[in-house]
Amino acid sequence: MPELPEVEAALEFLRTRARGRAIARVRLLHPALQRRLSPAQLQALAGARIARVERRGKHQLLHLDDGRVLHAHFRMNGDWALTETNAPLPRFARAAIDLDDDTSLIFVDSRALGTIDLHPAGVALDLGLGPDAADPEWTASQLADELARRRGPVKPALLDQRLVAGLGNIYAAESLWRARISPFAPGNALARERVQSLREAIDAVLRRATGSRYTDDDTVTLDVYDREGLPCRRCRTPIERAVQAGRSTYFCPTCQPREIAAKHGTAKKTAKKTAKKTAKKTAKKTAKKTAKKTAKKGAKKTAKTIAKKPAKRAARSRRA
């Protein structure tokens, strides 16, 4: 999936090839895109000039000189190609933006999941994005505050564009490996200094990514992503793969031990507290019910038995 560095590379392409040019015609070549833009909207694009291009997370905004915004998103594997307007279309061409110099920007997308939308002028675009992963002003402290609110594992949290915009499955995995954090560690279990390492790792990983197309180019050497069974570049332990929130997650079981969350205390304490609370609640409820039927002694026994169960469950989820 194109992530921040790849989208930034696409933006650079648009800056050099399309910025300042007027749109002669936009052709939508796939039904999924035709549903997003009406024929009237398409027609009204002719003559508009691409004044500037902007990246927000993984979104591409082509600001037109009249204030409208052509908004492209590659999703799983889109990309731009530049052809002469009359040249045969490349395979998987989903849209063509014909420019006034007889070249065409082709939206190429084999999965056809990418999107192109048009936003009217004068509307503030809210894409629901958190701070940009490449923004130097995005601090570890901000990241820590966000993660502190999340009980779920840190890896899916990093993919949430509201938490940080621009990271995807690959660079999230790479960043966690670099920071030696288990993808399974609960967000709120990470101590501040761990989050500081994570913030630095994200920065290093994004800087290192050249924006070349990792899928068909070896210039970006990944440390952990897609390296299942291969030796960890730090400790030689075979890299493992797991499915997490429906996505492949790669990690080194030695450098990124799952116990790391417990080691840092918070998770253990929280889990214990939660277990105790749940146990108390359950126990109280059951005790009340039982008390109605039986003597007080019986209620106490039941409460004790039930109190153990949630504690066990919490321990299990800590390991998972």
137 catalytic per annotation: no
Please say which residue, 74 or 177, places its beta carbon nearer to Zn ion.
Answer: 177
How far apart are alpha carbons 257 and 252 in whole angstroms? Answer: 8
The residue annotated as part of the active site, out of 5, 6, 27, 58, is: 58
How many residues in the shown chain lie near Zn ion by CB under 5 A? 7
Give one DSSP letter per residue of 125-174, joined into a string: ------SBTT-TT--HHHHHHHHHT--SBHHHHHH-TTTSBS--HHHHHH
Q: Which of residues 254-273 bind Zn ion (CB under 5 A)?
A: 254-255
- Least distance to Zn ion, CB of residue 144, Å: 24
54 catalytic per annotation: no
Interhelix angle 140-148/192-208, nearest 10 degrees: 120
247 catalytic per annotation: yes
Element (H, E) at 249: strand 247-251
- Of 170, 115, 246, 162, give the one whose Cα is nearest residue 2: 170
Which residues in 13-126 belong to E strands, given as ranges?
23-28, 50-56, 59-64, 69-73, 79-84, 93-99, 103-108, 115-119
- Least distance to Zn ion, CB of residue 178, Å: 11
58 catalytic per annotation: yes
Q: Which residues are registered as beta bridge partners of 115?
A: 73
Please say which residue, 20 or 238, places its beta carbon nearer to Zn ion.
Answer: 238
Residue 234 lies near Zn ion (rule: CB under 5 A): yes
Which of 70, 189, 232, 260 binds Zn ion (CB under 5 A)? It is: 232
Please say which residue, 83 or 254, places its beta carbon nearer to Zn ion.
Answer: 254
Which of 145, 219, 235, 273 binds Zn ion (CB under 5 A)? It is: 235
The residue annotated as part of the active site, out of 3, 6, 8, 174, is: 3
Report residue 68 as tokens.
């409208």
- Least distance to Zn ion, CB of residue 255, Å: 3
Catalytic residues: 2-3, 58, 247
Q: Which residues bind Zn ion (CB under 5 A)?
A: 232, 234-235, 237, 252, 254-255
